[in-house]
Structure 1
């Protein structure tokens, strides 16, 4: 076992490779008493942390409340893939935001990765940031689409290397015969997400943000001054930001009705050693295929294969994540049949009906802002959301914020008990179409 990896989980995070290999985690206090700030942020994941950083950098006082531990949710247990883009098929919104709006969404999808790059570099956050990501084509028609994607990136002024990997050369990036080509992007990559979250929490604290853990919000009082109640205290603020995503629950039923919590699952092998790791993924790139039930995988810093996917919309987790995920891994890498699985874990991601991140403010309460529903692409989109929210809250005109706020978002029908089965049926339809 690598010296970095601890087998205990006393830190309060879900048992995962990330929790076992994280940097030391400081204890932030629970909220007690009465606190007055300019902005209260609810949620200690990437949305909340980056909004807090951006606000503090602009001179506002901020208190951040986290119900459990900083990075406890999807921010601290995701696949660690830092991939360009926000939303899925943003051309669908052309009727709402126009041609230029679509172009700006695509540009912001590139900017989002740069925000992470700059934050890591500026504050020297140790999170194993590694550049290189490859889209994998499951079918020849998908590979043909990659050429269009590469041309579009060049038209947007993308400054990083983008290389089409022909089917006959696919083993130069992955030792698997399952794929009909790929597109290698050196401007996207992968990292240790929990260490990024912990590093950003330290940045926020250094900028004067008051961080509170184990401070679940029990009640919100909207008004000219918002009052945010926890079991032992209250925060009074001029502005409120809700950044809870899949874990918003009933804190604001209107917002939570627009987000479906969906389970996503990951396994991590035992350390593979340099030779086998290099054989599997010669470029050490993050990988993702093109199916609805997406597979994504990469190597960790200590040469484990981290393999994820199998998003569940039913609301029921597999009884044994390892037994559920390992056959999927072996379809891609049958050579790993005798390799031990050291870690298995899952968690909830937030998905909206149109798969565009929801960034805006409440119409009836204009001092209440939110960011949620990243549909599995939150690592970069959360950082963009923090910037856009801070611009709007601090009084700067934010064209990006206004653009996102223009797009309407449907409330899932049937309430919280029916929206998961309904979406599960919809996703089944899309998966059946893949077979045609």
Structure 2
């Protein structure tokens, strides 16, 4: 099969084809809360709701983790969207440190919850030029000053920082594990059931509707489509990736990100390389709701794979995912109308911060308060 034929499939390397699927919503059902979106944040939200004794129905336009939650690079990184020293400058030292420690604890929780999906091997921030080397040193100093684990790194991948507490994971495996557990615990989940209309007390889909006390919209990419009130605050971009056939040797024992985080890659346990990036160099066409790979960015990724990484293994997968971005890098976690909460716009940090926002949204919807919300939302 040629690269072009595989690209047309737009299948992430994480998908092994084993998912049996969940039913469509084809009737009217009732619940205390309806969660729209069965990605990492939505599933975490549902888990928190079940722990609080709340009945819950979850619906998704596609499959479990069919969006960015199951199509991303598989990084588990502590901290905010900003590098730590930039977060200190933007949010103040106390808030930046609390965010870092809270996200680090969430990485621990994710690891304990789905250990088969996670590898706690650390991560590398690799500098692309002298300017970024200097920025890595500034980050190193700020993290050391606050007692956070970090080491200066010079190795085969390049020069930069080693963050030993970070990790890598299979995002699709984690989400599917959570979905099956929720179903076993009494939550009702429905795939291929897009929300065509939502308001306080009701979510409509083509096949049925959910009558509920509260609605939580847990969607990252395309959030502004589903909740028009967020247009202008959240903007969807396309992130693109490729994966290769397995390499015979381990070249990258830790996930790496480079050039201010615009390129990222990891080597999977079976030897494959999963690589993505170049959203910024793709220009305006990358600000799109379309989740199909595009030739311009795919060619840049290919060149990086062959040239910078020196990997000549055949490319077996090409895919893309819609991801929500905000101007300040802080996520949406708001009651957009009475009884309707929305969360998303994680700016590429949804694996960890999205999970935290999911739990916060459940707490806010049920109790009206969550100590997590002030960490990630502008005052």
Contact map agreement 1:66 1:214 (CA 8 A) in 2: yes
Tell me: CA distance 1:360–1:157, structure 2 relative to 1, closer, same or farther (3 Å): farther
User: Over alpha carbons, which structure has the higher Rg?
Assistant: 1
| 2:361 equivalent in structure 1 | 389
Checking the alignment, whether the CA contact within 8 Å between 2:221 and 2:323 is kept in structure 1 is yes
TM-score, normalized by length of structure 1? 0.77
Alpha-carbon distance, 1:320 to partner: 7.0
Q: Residue 156 and residue 111 in structure 1: after superposition, are their counterparts in 2 closer, same or farther (change >3 A)?
A: farther
The equivalent of 2:290 in structure 1 is none
Are 2:95 and 1:101 equivalent residues in the alignment?
A: yes
Among residues 81, 87, 90, which one is paired with 1:90 in the alignment? 87
Q: 1:209 aligns with which of 167, 176, 187?
A: 187
* 1:239–1:368 contact (8 Å) kept in structure 2: yes
Contact 1:318/1:324, CA 8 A, preserved across alignment: no
1:393 to partner: Cα distance: 2.4
C-alpha separation in 1, matches of 2:99 and 2:283 = 27
Name the structure 1 match of 2:136. Answer: 146
Q: CA deviation at 1:8?
A: 9.8
Question: What TM-score results when the alignment is normalised by the length of structure 2?
Answer: 0.87
The residue that corresponds to 1:309 in the other structure is 277
Number of equivalent positions: 364
SS of 1:131's equivalent in the other structure is: coil
CA distance in 2, matches of 1:138, 1:152: 20
Corresponding residue of 1:120: 114
Contact 1:30 1:212 in 2 (8 A): yes
Q: CA deviation at 1:356?
A: 1.4
Give the structure 2 partner of residue 355 of structure 1: 329
Alpha-carbon contact 2:81-2:348 (below 8 Å) kept: no
Show the counterpart of 1:370.
342
Q: How large is the Cα RMSD of the aligned pairs?
A: 2.6
Deviates more, 1:311-320 or 1:384-393: 311-320
The answer to whether residue 226 in structure 2 is matched with residue 251 in structure 1 is yes
Following superposition, the deviation at residue 253 of structure 1 comes to 0.6
Structure 2 CA distance for partners of 1:329 and 1:375, relative to 1, 3 Å: same
The structure-2 alpha-carbon separation of the partners of 1:77 and 1:67, relative to structure 1 and needing over 3 Å to count, comes to: same
| Paired residues of 2:225 and 2:231 also in contact (CA < 8 A) | yes
- Give, in angstroms, the shift of residue 302 of structure 1: 0.8
Instruction: Provide the residue aligned with 1:423 in structure 2.
Output: none
Q: Secondary structure at the match of 1:17?
A: coil
Is the Cα–Cα contact under 8 Å of residues 321 and 345 in structure 1 kept in the other structure? no
* Residue of structure 2 in register with 1:341 after alignment: 315
Q: Which runs of 4+ in 1 moved over 6 A?
A: none
Matches within 5 A, 1:224-373: 226-248=201-223, 250-273=225-248, 275=249, 278=250, 280-281=251-252, 284-291=253-260, 294-311=262-279, 312=282, 314-315=284-285, 318-319=294-295, 322-334=298-310, 336=311, 338-362=312-336, 365-373=337-345
Residues 57, 207 of structure 1: 8 Å contact kept = no
Please tell me whether the aligned partners of residues 128 and 301 of structure 1 are also in contact (alpha carbons under 8 angstroms): no
Query: CA 1:304/1:371 → structure 2, altered by over 3 Å: closer, same or farther?
Result: same
In the alignment, is the contact (CA less than 8 A) between 1:263 and 1:349 conserved in 2? yes
Q: Measure, in 1, the Cα distance between the counterparts of 2:285 and 2:223.
A: 15
Residue 65 (structure 2) pairs with residue 71 (structure 1): yes
Q: Which runs of 5+ in 2 are unaligned?
A: 287-292
Q: 1:288 to 1:187 in 2, by over 3 A?
A: same
